[in-house]
Amino acid sequence: MRRDSLFYQLFAQLPQTLFDLLGRDTPQGYRFDSVELKQTAFRIDGVFVPPDPSGTVYFCEVQFQRDNTLYERLFAEIFLYLRLYRQTFSDWQAVVIYPHRQAEQVSFEPYDVLVKSDRLRRVYLNEIGSLEALPLNLALMQLMVMAEAEMPAAARLLAERTRTEAVPRPEVIIELITTIVLYKFTELSREEVLRMLGFTTEELKRTRFYQEVYAEAWEEGRQEGRQEGRQEGRQEGRQEGLQQGLEQGLQQGETLVVLRQLRRRFGDLPAGLEERIRQLSLHQIEALAEALLDFTTLEQVSAWLERST
């Protein structure tokens, strides 16, 4: 599980998370960046850059496996950055995030003075508080390190908190919870994870996943439908034929979108079921497109068709 990339997604989407972790008020204007120091091929994955040169630059490292040369590498990268970008800040702070103390390297020499100074803050996720009491962005960090057996219940708890608490950008929290669970349960689709966590259709629609995937399928279907409609209209050779062809093409495009969504969720569809869907009117296929988000089995699709056709 690539937890470091999940942490950096969290920082990029919600940069105030670092300052919450440090117990500080979130300053305005910070941006999160990944900086490559090309002269030595060093890369600092987490840099919080201040909005003006009077601010503090923060370096962040996520470390889940013991590395007995971590501080050697980290301080080498930091001091090279300080040399190259000195004009962009007035002070600096480093933060290393561990799942627990046992993941930290054994010996700090010859960097023990820096490690034990105020320049470095070491955070152990199993010591920062309970999942229920933590702010949601910090609770997401704990979710990343949970055992597989504990994760679904914990993820559902955090999902419920997005509904009951006044949180900024709840769609970002939903997306991050889903991504974290997907990293752990690789056999599930993203939509299955969203359903497992109990997100509603409206919450689903606000996620970037839904908007990107559905928009892609919608546009593909519309383009195919329009093309078929134009061809049929040209063959008819009359204006009314063109109009009729375009309408039929739009219906076919909507049908393609629905069939694609059903296959993505349930796999291959029975021939009889697919044929019934292809026979739906434009109004019916639009209604099915709305309803399908609530279906969890093909039997529910069949039942909807029985009621609606």
Of the residues 206, 235, 254, the one at which a domain ends: 206
In this structure, is residue 257 part of a structural domain?
yes
pTM over 0.85: no
Q: How many helices (H) and strands (E) does the chain have?
A: 14, 5
Residue 29 and residue 109 share a domain: yes
Nearest to 258 by CA among 237, 279, 229: 279
In this structure, is residue 78 part of a structural domain?
yes
User: Can you give the pLDDT at residue 246?
Assistant: 47
Residue 251 and residue 214 share a domain: yes
Distance of alpha carbon 29 from its chain centroid, rounded?
Answer: 23
Residue 191 and residue 216 share a domain: no
Residue 7 and residue 42 share a domain: yes
Residue 264 and residue 194 share a domain: no
Residue 202 and residue 213 share a domain: no
In this structure, is residue 173 part of a structural domain?
yes
Of the residues 128, 149, 182, the one at which a domain ends: 128
In this structure, is residue 134 part of a structural domain?
no
Report the C-alpha gap between 223 and 216 in whole angstroms: 11
In this structure, is residue 264 part of a structural domain?
yes
Residue 251 and residue 237 share a domain: yes
Residue 119 and residue 47 share a domain: yes
Domain count, the chain: 3
Residue 106 and residue 199 share a domain: no
Task: Determine whether 164 is exposed, middle or buried from the number of CB atoms within 10 Å of its CB (0-12, 13-18, 19+).
Answer: exposed
User: Can you give the pLDDT at residue 52?
Assistant: 92
In this structure, is residue 135 part of a structural domain?
no
Task: Determine whether 108 is exposed, middle or buried from the number of CB atoms within 10 Å of its CB (0-12, 13-18, 19+).
Answer: middle
Phi-psi region of 124 (alpha: psi -120 to 50; beta: other; left: phi over 0): beta
Is 33 strand, coil or helix? Answer: strand
In this structure, is residue 136 part of a structural domain?
no
Residue 225 and residue 105 share a domain: no
Of the residues 63, 96, 128, the one at which a domain ends: 128
In this structure, is residue 77 part of a structural domain?
yes
Nearest to 45 by CA among 37, 115, 53: 37
Residue 197 and residue 260 share a domain: no
Tens place of pLDDT per residue across the chain (309 aa): 456 678 888 888 888 898 999 998 888 888 888 776 655 556 777 899 999 999 999 999 999 889 999 999 999 999 989 988 999 999 999 999 999 999 999 888 889 999 999 999 999 998 998 888 999 989 999 998 888 888 888 998 998 898 888 887 888 888 888 888 888 887 777 667 777 777 666 666 666 655 555 555 555 555 555 555 455 545 544 444 444 544 565 667 678 778 877 887 777 888 888 889 888 888 888 788 777 766 778 888 888 888 887
Which residue is listed with tokens 């055992």? 147
Residue 226 and residue 264 share a domain: yes
Bridge partners, residue 56, by sequence: 91
Instruction: State which H helix or E strand residue 234 sits in.
Output: helix 208-236
CATH code for position 90: 3.40.1350
Beta strands in the chain (DSSP E): 31-37, 42-49, 56-62, 91-98, 120-124
Task: Name the residue type at position 30.
Answer: Y
Identify the domain containing residue 202 by its residue range: 141-206
